[in-house]
């Protein structure tokens, strides 16, 4: 009975995090971009500091008509938003929030599990582009596939470097083996992992698959109302997962002063600091061209990740 209750409490906690934190990141993006770019709209709704902007967006999406194109593959078209969103819920289950088993469900191969389900999330964009019966959507879906192939490899290599250093692919095991001197040692891998995560989420400056000035909105062009809102929510959920996973692998996760009692707070602070960096990058850098985007992956990130992996192997041999 106690084990069943414990599992139920953990599931509810993960679900609450999944439902609340992406919305917080979305609201934060509105405000941060408003301050950095002098935007008035997001600061207006509801009066003080535009506190009701998120509510206004939700009402707007709920009121819009749910349209399915006549030539679309209806079932796949309707299923794509769920495929894009739900994998991030599964990923959150295995990411530790703090010490003393403060995790939804400990998975022995947690690193492989999280990276695998994150890869599934990108399939939602491919399904949306293919099923929409729209050439702009199809082009966006093809760009998504090319981008996934290019940036998945450096992301996996960077994560493998940390797993090699810790001697385990369990996320809780990696945190258990963490030492602070890992931060400068693995900093190149952290850069590669974080940038690859942004590219997989199609966040600026890697948002060529949804380039509104060229292909309207890529794979999501034909989506309206709540289905379109689910795609936006999956983007913010992806920011949460990528930031949390980067914090666990490269910044020590819950490690910090008084970690036994405040470990969860350190984990949240690191996660939201990285999420803020994601927003900051969006308003700072212009969009890369498609050729620049692919060249950056194959000629910069992959060599860096291989160099980091080699350095980790050398350090492990020297230490042992």
What pLDDT does 1 receive? Answer: 57
Q: Would you say residue 169 has pLDDT above 70?
A: yes
- Say what the pLDDT of residue 215 is: 62
Whether residue 205 has a cis bond before it, omega within 30° of 0: yes
| DSSP letter assigned to residue 105 | S
User: Mean pLDDT over residues 212-223, rounded?
Assistant: 77
Report the sign of the C-alpha dihedral through residues 205, 283, 202, 121, in that order.
positive
Of 265 and 45, the one with more pLDDT: 265
Residue 212: predicted pLDDT: 67
Angstrom distance (rounded) from CA 52 to CA 50? 6
Which two three-digit tokens encode residue 291? 């050729």
Q: Write down the pLDDT at residue 271.
A: 95
Which pLDDT band holds residue 68 (cuts at 50, 70, 90)?
Answer: confident
pTM recorded for the entire structure: 0.93
Q: What is the pLDDT of residue 214?
A: 67
pLDDT, tens digit (0-9, with 9 covering 90-100), for 30-47: 888 888 887 777 777 777
* Distance from C-alpha of 286 to C-alpha of 294, rounded to nearest angstrom: 16
Answer yes or no: are the C-beta atoms of 268 and 148 closer than 8 Å: no
Instruction: Write the DSSP assignment of 111-144 as a string of letters.
Output: HHHHHHHHHHHHHHHHHHHHHT--HHHHHHHHHH
Q: How confident is residue 3, by pLDDT bands cut at 50, 70 and 90?
A: confident
**CA-CA distance, 296 to 288, in Å (whole number)?**
10
pLDDT band at 226 (very low <50, low <70, confident <90, very high): confident
Instruction: Please give the pLDDT value at position 213.
Output: 66
| Average pLDDT of the chain, as a whole number | 87
Average pLDDT over residues 119-144: 85
Q: What is the pLDDT of residues 267-287, one digit of tens each?
A: 999 999 999 999 999 888 888
């Amino acid at each position: 009975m106690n084990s069943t209750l414990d599992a139920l409490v953990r599931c509810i906690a993960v679900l609450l995090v999944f439902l609340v934190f992406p919305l917080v990141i979305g609201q934060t993006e509105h405000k941060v971009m408003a301050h950095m770019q002098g935007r008035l709209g997001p600061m207006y709704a509801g009066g003080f500091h535009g506190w009701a902007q998120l509510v206004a967006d939700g009402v707007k999406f709920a009121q819009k008509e749910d349209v399915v194109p006549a030539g679309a593959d209806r079932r796949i078209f309707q299923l794509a938003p769920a495929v894009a969103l739900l994998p991030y819920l599964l990923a959150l289950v295995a990411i530790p929030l703090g010490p003393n088993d403060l995790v939804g469900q400990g998975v022995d191969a947690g690193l492989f599990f999280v990276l695998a389900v994150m890869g599934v999330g990108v399939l939602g964009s491919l399904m949306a582009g293919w099923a929409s019966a729209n050439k702009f959507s199809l082009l966006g879906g093809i760009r998504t596939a090319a981008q996934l192939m290019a940036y998945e490899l450096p992301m996996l290599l960077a994560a493998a470097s940390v797993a090699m250093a810790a001697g385990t692919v369990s996320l809780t095991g990696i945190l258990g083996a963490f030492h602070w001197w890992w931060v400068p040692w693995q900093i190149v891998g952290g850069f590669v992992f974080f940038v690859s995560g942004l590219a997989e989420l199609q966040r600026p400056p890697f948002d060529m698959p949804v380039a509104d000035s060229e292909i309207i909105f890529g794979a999501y062009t034909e989506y309206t109302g709540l289905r379109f809102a689910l795609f936006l929510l999956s983007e913010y959920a992806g920011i949460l997962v990528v930031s949390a996973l980067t914090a666990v692998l490269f910044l020590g996760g819950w490690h910090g002063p008084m970690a036994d009692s405040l470990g969860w707070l350190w984990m949240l602070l690191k996660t939201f600091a990285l999420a803020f960096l994601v927003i900051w990058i969006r308003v700072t850098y212009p969009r890369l061209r498609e050729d620049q985007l692919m060249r950056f992956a194959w000629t910069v990130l992959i060599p860096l990740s291989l160099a980091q992996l080699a350095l980790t192997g050398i350090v492990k041999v020297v230490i042992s």
